Amino acid sequence: MAVRNNILPVNLVFKFILLASLITENIDLAGAWLGVNFGEDGDNLPSRTDVVKKLTDIGMKQVRIYHTYAETMSAFANSGIDLIIGISNDDFMTVLADVNSSLNWLNTNVVPYPNTNVVTITVGNEVFASDSELLIAALLPSMENLYSALQQLALDDITVTTAHAFDVMGVSYPPSAGAFKSEYLSTMTGIAEFLSRTGSFVFVNFYPYFTYEADKTNVQLSYALLGSGYLVDSGNGKVYINLLAQAVDAVYTALTAVGYGDLVVRVSEIGWPSGGGDDATVANAQTHNQNLVALVEEGTPLKPDNKVDAFLFAMFNENLKAAGVEQNWGLYYPNLTEVYHIDF
Ligand SMILES: *[C@@H]1O[C@H](CO)[C@@H](O)[C@H](O)[C@H]1NC(C)=O
Ligand SMILES: *[C@@H]1O[C@H](CO)[C@@H](O)[C@H](O)[C@H]1NC(C)=O
């Protein structure tokens, strides 16, 4: 990934940010939100009832989970939380192999929880990054099967999508040159057509942390932390002041190139680790995530009216993930103590 930015003198940046905040005050903020990912790869996590109580206490209205464990599905009942549930890469090829098996899956994992407000189902997570041609080929047919099964069960207010890794992008800098990897182009186009036809949206995981670590020479820390920066994209005439807007507009440009620029892009995962690696500090994680809270109320230069809905990664530090940064993305320790404070 080649993400670069040019930094102008501080006084110019400051003027621009002042101007941007004046403009923001006139934007209708209704509908903007920040959700959180509740990953369950830990053997020391709180009871799911306690998790939902904490999510409610901090005002979370949108939560994404990766599985459909019975205890978790039950705990979200009557919570007022919109829930995005997932079918894992290990499972979806089998359970969504045809419409009948998709009906079975829904009858086992969704139908028994009528008071749990499932709004979206993600088929797989970072499927293209799996490098499995079989899995990639099965993705769109699986989404179609699940969609048909939802229609048959009259669960047609539940949308179907998949969460992409950002490396579906072949070009992401500058945003005006955004393009999907050529080897994924036809599948991505098919998925975009499906999402458009079924009233769904594009979901993409984006990690400013990894972008920064991969190219510290060209990416400024403050820009990656979504604080300040200044990039003029001569290709589209837009000005970017943070890495998230730049990444999302690259995806919009790639979608426009395949004919689906009207799809809404949402960020399925974004965060910053608080330990376990270079620049993975509590201070950086707190700064990044607090800046993110403000950003989701804004659109991007290409789509000023589309608020950047995003899911923060993640609710808890998860001790069954790989050692290092992977275990340190949480807002909370498993004992429900804050790793750092965020005002939502
Ligand atoms: C799907 O299930 C129904 C009801 O059990 C059955 O009648 C039908 O033959 C099945 N269709 C396929 C394609 O297996
Ligand atoms: C919660 O866990 C963290 C990390 O292990 C620890 O530092 C903190 O003291 C614990 N808090 C309580 C109240 O036990």
- As a whole number of angstroms, the distance between CA 180 and CA 282 comes to 33
- As a whole number of angstroms, the distance between CA 271 and CA 332 comes to 13
- As a whole number of angstroms, the distance between CA 191 and CA 188 comes to 5
The answer to whether the beta carbons of residues 318 and 65 sit under 8 Å apart is: no
Place of tokens 């899995």: 135
Q: Is residue 338 assigned to a domain? A: no
In the structure, what pLDDT confidence band is assigned to residue 10 with cuts at 50, 70 and 90? very low
In this prediction the pTM is 0.90
Q: Is 44 in the pocket of ligand 2 (CB under 6 A)?
A: no
pLDDT of residue 32: 54
pLDDT of residue 27: 37
Q: Is residue 20 assigned to a domain? A: no
Could you list the residue range(s) of the whole structural domain that residue 78 is in? 28-327
Number of domains in the chain: 1
pLDDT of residue 296: 86
Helix segments in the chain, DSSP class H: 10-24, 48-57, 70-75, 89-95, 99-109, 133-152, 185-197, 208-214, 221-224, 243-257, 282-295
To the nearest 5 percent, what fractions of the chain are helix, strand and coil? Answer: 40, 15, 45
Whole-number average pLDDT of the chain = 91
Q: Is residue 23 assigned to a domain? A: no
Q: Is residue 264 assigned to a domain? A: yes
297-337: pLDDT as tens digits: 889 999 999 999 999 999 999 999 999 999 999 999 999 99
Tell me: pLDDT of 13 over 50: no
254-269: pLDDT as tens digits: 999 999 999 999 999 9
pLDDT of residue 298: 87
Q: Read off the pLDDT of each residue in 196-221 and give the average, rounded to a whole number.
A: 97
Q: Which of 248, 245, 270, 273 is nearest to 261 (CA)?
A: 248
Q: Is residue 5 assigned to a domain? A: no
Q: Is residue 62 assigned to a domain? A: yes
Q: Is 108 in the pocket of ligand 1 (CB under 6 A)?
A: no
In the structure, what pLDDT confidence band is assigned to residue 17 with cuts at 50, 70 and 90? very low
270-292: pLDDT as tens digits: 999 999 999 999 999 999 999 99
- As a whole number of angstroms, the distance between CA 251 and CA 268 comes to 13
Tell me: pLDDT of 2 over 60: no
Give the catalytic positions in this structure.
126, 269
Report the share of the chain in percent with pLDDT over 70.
Answer: 90
CA 337–ligand 2 middle distance (angstroms):
6
For residue 171, what is the domain's CATH number? 3.20.20.80
Ligand 2 atom nearest to 333, measured from its CA: 2
Give residue 227's Cα distance to chain centre: 19
CA 100–ligand 1 middle distance (angstroms):
6
Q: Is residue 247 assigned to a domain? A: yes
Q: Is residue 11 assigned to a domain? A: no
CA 321–ligand 2 middle distance (angstroms):
19
